[in-house]
A and B are shown apart, each in its own frame.
Chain A
Amino acid sequence: MKRFSLALATAAAVIAVTASTAFAHVEFKSSTPGKGKTASTHITTVTVTFSGAIKKGTLKVTGPGGKAVNNGSGGRDPRKISRLRVPLKSGLKRGSYKATWSITAADGHAETGSFTFKLK
C-alpha cells in the first residue's frame, strides 16, 4: 500500500509539473466593432486589439451573402503595435458581418479567430 501511494504521489507530481506549461500568450482582447455588437453602416475600419505586440497579421471581413468588404488584407496598425486594422469598402449594407483574423505574435505564436457583428 505504501509503495503504491508513493508511486501515485510521483505520478501526480509529474503531471502537475508537465500540465502547467505555456500560459504567456498574446490573445484577443477587444475589437471595433465589438464582438456581437451593432454598429453603423458608415464605419470605415475594423480593428482587433491583442494583449501584446504582434509581428504581423491579416484581417478580413465578409458581409451579407458572404461578400468580402475589406479593402486589402489588413495588417498591423502603424499607430499601435498590438492592433490589427483593415479599411472597409464604402456603401456597406445592413446585416451580419464576420471578421476573420490571423496573427503571428512576437514569440512566433500563430493564432487565428473570428467574430461577428451587425451593421444597421
Chain B
Amino acid sequence: MIRRALLAGLAVFAFAAAPASAHIQVRPSVAAPGDPVLFQLIVPNEKDAKTVEVTLQVPKDVLPFSFEEPAGWTRTNKLASDGSIETVTYKGELAQDGFAQFSFLASTPDAEGDIVWKALQKYDDGSTVRWIGDPDSDNPAAVTKVTKTAPKENAGGEGEEASAPAASATATTAPAQASANTTEDDSDSPLPLILSIAALVLAGAALVKAFR
C-alpha cells in the first residue's frame, strides 16, 4: 500500500518535473580563451504553441565568423554601428514537441570569465520567453565559462596550434618583403583553384578513356 502510494507520488513528481527541465542551452559550457569554438544553440519548444523566432544576442568580445544554416530556418545578422554582429535571428517553425539546433563558429574572448548568452524565443501565439535571467532564475541565460583549463578547440579556425608554424614562416620572410605585400600561410592565390580545375578535367578525360 505504502509502496503503491510512493510509486504514484514518484510518477506525479517525474511528470511535473519534466516540462521545467527544458531550457534554451548553449554548448559547450566551458571553453578556452581566445579560441575559435563550435557553439551550439539548442532551442526546445516548451508550449502549446510553436516557436517561430529565436534571437541570440552576441556577447561582448565574442566574434562569430561562420554559421550553419539549419534546414527550414532563415538567419539574419544585425550589425552594431562598429560593424560587429549584435544579434543573430533565426526564423522558422518548431513542432510543439520539436527542438532546433543552431551551430556557429565564434572566437571566445581573450580574458577568462563568463560568456552570458541572452536569447529571446518567440511563439506563434504572440508570446516571448526572454532567456536573460541569472542561472537560478526561471528563464536563465545560458553561460559558457571561459577558462584556461579548458582544452583549445580551434574549430574551423587557425588558432594557436595552427598559426604557430605560420608565424615562424612570416618571421623568416619578413625582411624580404617588398612594398604592399601580404604574407599568409595558405594564401588566396588562384593556384589551388587552377589545380583543382585542371585535375577535374584530367579526371574526366581519364574516366572517359577508361570506360571506352
Contacts and interface: CB of A to CB of B under 8 A. Distances in A.
Interface of A: 1-2, 5-6, 8-10, 12-13, 15-16, 19-25, 27-28, 35-36, 52-53, 55-56, 77-82, 98, 104-116
Nearest to B194: A19
Nearest to B107: A106
Interface of B: 34-36, 63-66, 81-85, 105-107, 110, 154, 156-160, 162-163, 166-167, 170, 174, 177, 179-184, 186, 188, 192-193, 195-196, 199-200, 202-203, 206-207, 209-210
A107 B82 CA distance: 19
Given A13-B199, A16-B196, 5 more contacts: A27-B188, A79-B82, A106-B64, A112-B182, A115-B180
Contacts of B179: 35-36, 98, 114-116
Contacts of B195: 15-16, 19
For A27, A82, A113, the residue with the greatest tally of chain B CB atoms inside 10 Å of its CB is A113
Given A20-B192, A36-B180, A53-B84, A12 B210 contact: no
B206 A21 contact: no
A95 B65 CA distance: 39
Given A107-B36, A110-B167, A80 B82 contact: yes
A82 B203 contact: no
B80 to A, nearest CB: 8
Q: Which 9 A-B pairs have the closest CB atoms?
A: A108-B159, A9-B206, A107-B157, A106-B63, A12-B203, A16-B199, A106-B65, A115-B180, A5-B210
A108 B160 contact: yes
Given A19-B192, A20-B196, A78-B82, A109 B183 contact: no
B170 A19 contact: no
A28 B202 CA distance: 34
Nearest to B159: A108
A104 B167 CA distance: 11
Contacts of A20: 192-193, 196
Given A16-B200, A80-B82, A23 B188 contact: yes
B105 to A, nearest CB: 7
A108 B182 contact: no
Most chain A CB within 10 A, of B157, B158, B177, B195, is at: B158
B207 to A, nearest CB: 5
Nearest to A14: B199
Contacts of A35: 179-180
A81 B184 contact: no
B106 A108 contact: no
Contact of B209 (A5, A16, A110): A5
A25 B162 CA distance: 14
A82 B183 contact: no
B154 A108 contact: yes
Contacts of B106: 106
A35 B209 CA distance: 51
